[in-house]
Structure 1
Amino acid sequence: MKIAFSPCPNDTFIFHALAHGLVPNAPTFDVTYADIDITNNLAAKQNDLDVLKISYAALPWVLDEYKLLPCGGALGRGCGPLILTQKSENGKADPNVLTGRRVAVPSERSTAYLLFRLWAAQHVPGSIGEIIVMPFHEIMPAVRDGKIDAGLVIHEARFTYPSYGLQLLTDLGSWWESDTGLPIPLGAIIAKKSLDVESIAGWIRQSVEHAWEKPAASQEYVLSHAQEMSPEVAQAHIDLYVNEFSLDLGDEGYKAVTTLLNRAAQERLVPAIDAKALDWKKKE
């Protein structure tokens, strides 16, 4: 069975057991490591991947071929994307500075981008100037060097942006949580409808449980894919993104997903979806 997920610590931690044949009765999994912007595009095209990690923002484009699984993804609190700028003279964060400015984003089919656009519609007078898609590891240096005016960052940038001398303009996760009372839907796990999705979900849950029961077992694997990240930052990344929603979205998780996608559809950022399409047990 072919699976694709990112080399980020939360994904390698969750899928360590599945990728290494440690889940009883699960088939062998052939792993492709790819950043989520790549898997978003793969999922929207004809491909031979059976299971993928994508952004929830990309979900409306792939529901004809794939089902959303209730486990293995990234959804939580206190883990949202950030908007960063160079430090202001007075040290104060002012959304007005984004009016007519150039903002770098890691993808236009990402939850981070949807949150940014929804936040900007409420807080930025006028409109953003130019949106520039840029690999996420290039965004902070570009803001620091003045090549762009602001950057939308994700992942471990939450822990490392002060080292670039940058200023936090807003924490989009905090805004989302205060505005909705819901956790932030970031990364989704999907599987082809033609497969036994219930069994796949069961294997992923067992992989999550194995990771929690034996955290040391995955450490070498996690760090080997962690892009020169220190063990401390990698662990902070896991602690932030692997939680009860990784095991089961539950009612609150599904509500967060539908709220995000419905708001984004109202702003014409994504196609409208039928909430029933997210029911992973529904037969076609």
Structure 2
Amino acid sequence: MKIAFSPCPNDTFIYHAWVHGLLPGAPELEVTYADIDITNKLAQGSDGPDILKISYGALPWVSDEYALLPCGGALGRGCGPLVLTSGRNDITNNPASLAGRRVAVPSERSTAYLLFRLWAAQNIPGGIGEIVVMPFDQIMPAVRDGLIDAGLVIHEARFTYPEYGLSLMTDLGSWWEEDTQLPIPLGAIIARKSLDLTRISQWIRDSIEYAWAHPNVSQQYILQHSQELSPEVAQAHIDLYVNEFSANLGNDGYNAIKALLNRAYEEGIIPKTDFDSLLWQG
């Protein structure tokens, strides 16, 4: 069975047990490790993996062959994307100073991007000048070096951005939570509708439960794929992004997903999403 997810600590922590054959009865996995912008594109075609991790912001473009699973992804509170600046080019902590400027984002089909656009519509008169898509690990160096006026960052960047001498303009997760009282929908797990989604969901939950019961077993695997993160930063990443929503989206999770995509549709950022076709709740 083919699966694609990111090399980030939350994903490798969740899927370690299944990837390493530690779940009785679960099929062997052939893993592709890829940045979220790549997996978002894989979800659009008919020849993508059986299971893959994508951004919730990419759900409107998912192939009809896939369904959203209720587990294995990333939602939470206090874990949203950040808008960072360096103080160069007359950029201040006032969001209005980004009007007409260049902002780097990790993907235009990501939750981070949708949150940024929704926030910018309320806070940046005149709008952003140019959106530049680049791999998330290149964004902070580009902002630091003045190549970009501001950067939208995700993942472990929320722990490491001070090392680049950058300043926080806004935490989009905090803005979203204050505005909606809902968690932040970040990464989704989708699987082919032709597969046994009940069993796949159970294998994912079993892998999560194994990870929680044996938190140290996966450390070498996690650090191998975590792009030179320290063990402390990798653990902070896991603690933040692997939570009760990883095991079960629940009502709050589904409401958060619908609120995000409906707002983005109303703002004209994305096409309308066919939830009835996409959702599978088992």
TM-score bracket for the superposition, by shorter chain length? over 0.9
Q: Secondary structure at the match of 1:49?
A: coil
The separation in 1 between residues aligned to 2:181 and 2:119, in whole angstroms, is 15
- 1:232 has 2:213 as partner: no
Contact (CA 8 Å) 1:65, 1:193: kept in 2 or not?
Answer: yes
TM-score with structure 2 setting the length:
0.97
Q: Counterparts in 2 of 1:1-284, with a 5 A limit?
A: 1-87=1-87, 93-281=93-281
The separation in 2 between residues aligned to 1:128 and 1:90, in whole angstroms, is 15
Contact (CA 8 Å) 2:46, 2:65: kept in 1 or not?
Answer: no
* Of 31-40 and 82-91, the range deviating more from structure 2: 82-91
The separation in 2 between residues aligned to 1:103 and 1:90, in whole angstroms, is 14
The separation in 2 between residues aligned to 1:190 and 1:92, in whole angstroms, is 40
Contact (CA 8 Å) 2:85, 2:150: kept in 1 or not?
Answer: yes
| TM-aligned CA distance change 1:208 to 1:131, over 3 Å | same
* Of 92-101 and 272-281, the range deviating more from structure 2: 272-281
The separation in 1 between residues aligned to 2:146 and 2:52, in whole angstroms, is 36
The separation in 2 between residues aligned to 1:44 and 1:279, in whole angstroms, is 16
| Amino acid across the alignment from 1:58 | A
Contact (CA 8 Å) 1:63, 1:277: kept in 2 or not?
Answer: no
Contact (CA 8 Å) 1:87, 1:165: kept in 2 or not?
Answer: no
TM-score with structure 1 setting the length:
0.96
Pairwise CA distance, 1:274:
3.2
CA RMSD of aligned residues (A): 1.6
Pairwise CA distance, 1:91:
10
Residue by residue over 1:48-91, the C-alpha shift from the partner in whole angstroms, topping out at 9 and shown as x without a partner, is 41000000011111151100000000000000000011137999
Q: Secondary structure at the match of 1:104?
A: strand
Pairwise CA distance, 1:13:
0.1
| TM-aligned CA distance change 1:157 to 1:199, over 3 Å | same
| Amino acid across the alignment from 1:137 | D
Contact (CA 8 Å) 2:60, 2:274: kept in 1 or not?
Answer: no
* Of 80-89 and 4-13, the range deviating more from structure 2: 80-89
| TM-aligned CA distance change 1:33 to 1:89, over 3 Å | closer
| Amino acid across the alignment from 1:18 | W
| TM-aligned CA distance change 1:261 to 1:107, over 3 Å | same
Structure 2 stretches lacking a partner, 5+ long: none
Q: Secondary structure at the match of 2:120?
A: helix
Pairwise CA distance, 1:113:
0.3
* Of 223-232 and 56-65, the range deviating more from structure 2: 56-65
The separation in 2 between residues aligned to 1:132 and 1:90, in whole angstroms, is 19
| Amino acid across the alignment from 1:256 | A
Residue by residue over 1:104-140, the C-alpha shift from the partner in whole angstroms, topping out at 9 and shown as x without a partner, is 1011011000000000001111110000001111111
Contact (CA 8 Å) 2:45, 2:63: kept in 1 or not?
Answer: no
Contact (CA 8 Å) 1:73, 1:187: kept in 2 or not?
Answer: yes
- Kindly, what percent of the aligned residue pairs are identical? 71
Structure 1 stretches lacking a partner, 5+ long: none
Residue by residue over 1:216-273, the C-alpha shift from the partner in whole angstroms, topping out at 9 and shown as x without a partner, is 1111111111111100000000001000000000000000000000011111211112
Pairwise CA distance, 1:45:
1.7
The separation in 1 between residues aligned to 2:270 and 2:161, in whole angstroms, is 30
Q: Secondary structure at the match of 2:148?
A: coil
Q: Secondary structure at the match of 2:280?
A: coil
Contact (CA 8 Å) 2:185, 2:256: kept in 1 or not?
Answer: yes
